[in-house]
Structures are given as structure tokens and as C-alpha cells.
Amino acid sequence: MEKIKLGIIGLGNMGTSHARNIVDGKCPEVCLAAVADVNPERIKWGKENLADGIEYFDDAIKMLDSGMINACIISVPHYDHPKYAIECMKRGIHVMVEKPAGVYTKQVREMNEEADRHPEVVFGMMFNQRTNCIYRKLRELVKSGEFGEIRRVNWIITDWYRPQIYYDSGNWRATWAGEGGGVLLNQCPHQLDMLQWICGLPKTVEAHLHFGKWHDIEVEDDVTAYMEFENGATGVFVTTTGDGHGTNRLEIQMDRAKMIVENNKLMLDEYEMTEQEFSRTNTLPFATVNGNLSEVETDGENPQHVGVINAWADAILRGGSLVADGREGINGLMLSNAMHLSAFLGKAVEIPIDEDVFYAELMKKVASSKAKTGVRTVYADTSGSYGGNK
């Protein structure tokens, strides 16, 4: 069997998870050939805990130039995602980028342009929540046209609780200079990606962000955003890392149905006619359209990160379909950047945003960012977190 010779840049929480999946045989068409990390402790850990025959590098470029790999997963702090993706592309190395695609869309646009110059490179994005059977089925229902248009979308995703020790576990975490954002950029890229994947991007966003409200951090840990879509639909997105026991509920109201995702179930309340038709023909002032509420069956499959990597391998070896093309990473990031920019400027902003204005505002934050000192990086098992996030 032909196997992809994989390199991983960054043996942190997610890089370690990917490495374990490969060496445990969960991705049978992928062989872990090399790992690069600037931290000697992580190199030592890899040599002691991963399989034999893996080469280790203290410099990512040395690994990319070694000739030992033909594909690479990038799992480093966010600012460096586009940088190393571009270096891979220039060398003809297939690349999978961890979420988010980057910190700001101007940087990610450069990455996408480089990808277009290298059609031979298979460029994927680690949007593992797109493998979830519930969200795949929800998207199918919304896009089918059977239920009319979206009227309203509400997502409260507050089960991202993080204690202070989480933020104290690394020098780069929760700083403008090191991470570039908080809950929107670290925990929520999956939800922001799925929101646009299922519903499309809104045309305007007005967001209220609280920076260090619940933790001793620079970046946002509490967000409420209002969105308006091209067809007149509205939406609200609420997230935080400060709720001890949070909620994950996505509700989409359409012309002829309401769809709810909560507690790992997809519920469909299907109306006997559209709301518009009922409103026009009904003669009773307090009546409402009849509906039938039921749980939607799915195929039950949710392979997560392993599914993304195996699909990437199939695309490399046989031209198969990716779970998410890397170029799509800019869409959810555009929504994230819009929420940040709205909060920075104190007003609603249009999508696409002015990327130069956003970059200038972000750099103001970076300039005032305070470097952490005396922090020893702590690595943790991410398997119990939602989707295995950083």
C-alpha cells in the first residue's frame, strides 16, 4: 500500500493528538515520518512516546527541506499557520492547516493565492466538525430548498468553559501578540465555519465583546453578536469561556420548519405549510400553523480529525474529496474578524470587512500586548474537549 510520508509542525496539544492517531494506525494510508518543534522537551517526549523511525527537527524549514515528507500538518500558534502553509506549497508539499486558518483574513488571502499557484498541492483545513453527522444532515436539510428560506439563526455555544490555569498554560495563550484573539479565534472557529457553511455569511455584523471579563487575560472571553443576512434573515451568536455549565444549542427558523441541534440530537419541527401561506389564509386571530416535531435520523458517522486526515489522504493518493478545502478557512475567519472589528470600532460592520482597517486595529492591540514571563508550557489531553480543541 502506498503511504503518505507525513510531517507535523508543532507537537503541542493538537499536534500530539494527530501524531498519536497516525502511529496508532487510525490513518492507514499515512506514515508519520518527521516532526518539528522548537521545544526540546516536546522532541524528547516524541522520541520516548511515539513510534520508532520518526525523524525530529528543531526547525520546521529544515524538515520541509529534508526530502523526508510529502505532506505536512501545521499545528502551531495561529499567526504562523499561513506562514508555514505557504512554505509547504512552495515546495510542493501537501498541507493540512489546523483551525483557524490564521489570525486575519489579509494574511489568509495571501495563503489562498499561493495555493492557487500550486494546483498540484492538496490543501486542506482541519474543520473536523464538518464530519459530524448531525451538522452534515442539518446542512442537507437547509440547502434542500424543501423548507424555504432561513428567517432566523441563533447559536448559543457557551460550553467552552476554561479555568484560569488553562490560560496560564502557555506564553502565547490569550494575548494579542501570541494568539490574536480569544474564544472567537481559539474555541469557536468550528462553529463560525459551520454557521457560514450551513447558512452563508451575513452581510452585516454588530458585536459586543468583553475582554478579560471572566479571566485575567487580554483577549475576549464573552461575546454577543447580532447578524443580518442578504435575504433579510437575522441571527445571534453568543459564546464565552466563563460559564461553569454552558449550553450548545443551534436553532434555525425557516419558512416551513424549525430545526434544533442540542444534546447531540437534530430535531425537525416541520410545518404543514409555510408560515406565509398560513398567515395569509388563516381566519383565527390566535391560531398558529400545525407542525410535526421529530428527531431526524442520520448516518451516525462522526470520524472527527481522523476522518479529515483520511479524506485528505484519499485526495492526495486518488483525487478524492476533502472534508474542507483549505481556501474555505477564510470564510469563518471573515466572520470572526468582523465581530472583532465591530467591537474595536463600536459599530456594525459590513462583510467583507475592510481588511486593512482590521489589520491596523489588530496591530494596535498587539502593540499594547504584554508578554507573559515565567510561564512553563503545560500540555494536556484534548480528547475530552469539544472536537479536541486547543
> Is the same domain home to 17 and 64?
yes
pLDDT of 170:
85
pLDDT of 1:
77
Q: Is the pLDDT of residue 375 over 60?
A: no
The pLDDT tens digits for 284-312 are 999 999 999 999 999 999 999 999 999 99
Burial 144-160 (b: 16+ CB within 10 A, else e): eeebeebbebebbbbbb
Is 190 inside a domain boundary? yes
Q: Is the pLDDT of residue 360 over 80?
A: yes
> Is the same domain home to 106 and 156?
no
Helix, coil or strand: residue 276: helix
Is 375 inside a domain boundary? no
pLDDT of 373:
62
Provide the CATH number for the domain around residue 243.
3.30.360.10
> Is the same domain home to 139 and 268?
yes
pLDDT of 386:
45
Is 8 inside a domain boundary? yes
> Is the same domain home to 81 and 144?
no
Is 380 inside a domain boundary? no
Is 135 inside a domain boundary? yes
Provide the CATH number for the domain around residue 31.
3.40.50.720
Question: pTM value?
Answer: 0.94
Is 208 inside a domain boundary? yes
State the total domains in the chain: 2
Residue 147: which domain range?
130-300+332-367
pLDDT of 374:
56
Q: Is the pLDDT of residue 171 over 60?
A: yes
The pLDDT tens digits for 203-220 are 999 999 999 999 999 999
Percent of the chain with pLDDT over 90: 93
> Is the same domain home to 122 and 162?
no
* Amino acid letter for position 307: G
pLDDT of 169:
87
* Crossing angle for the helix pair 133-143 and 189-199, to the nearest 10 degrees: 30
> Is the same domain home to 189 and 239?
yes
Q: Is the pLDDT of residue 388 over 80?
A: no
> Is the same domain home to 121 and 135?
no
- Average pLDDT over all residues of the chain: 95
> Is the same domain home to 98 and 169?
no
The pLDDT tens digits for 29-80 are 999 999 999 999 999 999 999 999 999 999 999 999 999 999 999 999 999 9
> Is the same domain home to 216 and 77?
no
Q: Is the pLDDT of residue 381 over 60?
A: no
> Is the same domain home to 93 and 178?
no
Is 310 inside a domain boundary? yes
What's the grid cell of residue 69? 515528507
Is 383 inside a domain boundary? no
> Is the same domain home to 293 and 313?
no
Q: Which residues sit opposite 339 in a β-bridge?
A: none
Pick the closest to residue 71 from 20, 107, 27, 128 (CA basis). Answer: 27
pLDDT of 387:
47
Cβ burial of 245 (10 Å; 0-12, 13-18, 19+) is exposed
> Is the same domain home to 116 and 148?
no
Helix, strand, coil abundance in the chain, percent, nearest 5: 35, 20, 45
The pLDDT tens digits for 247-291 are 999 999 999 999 999 999 999 999 999 999 999 999 999 999 999
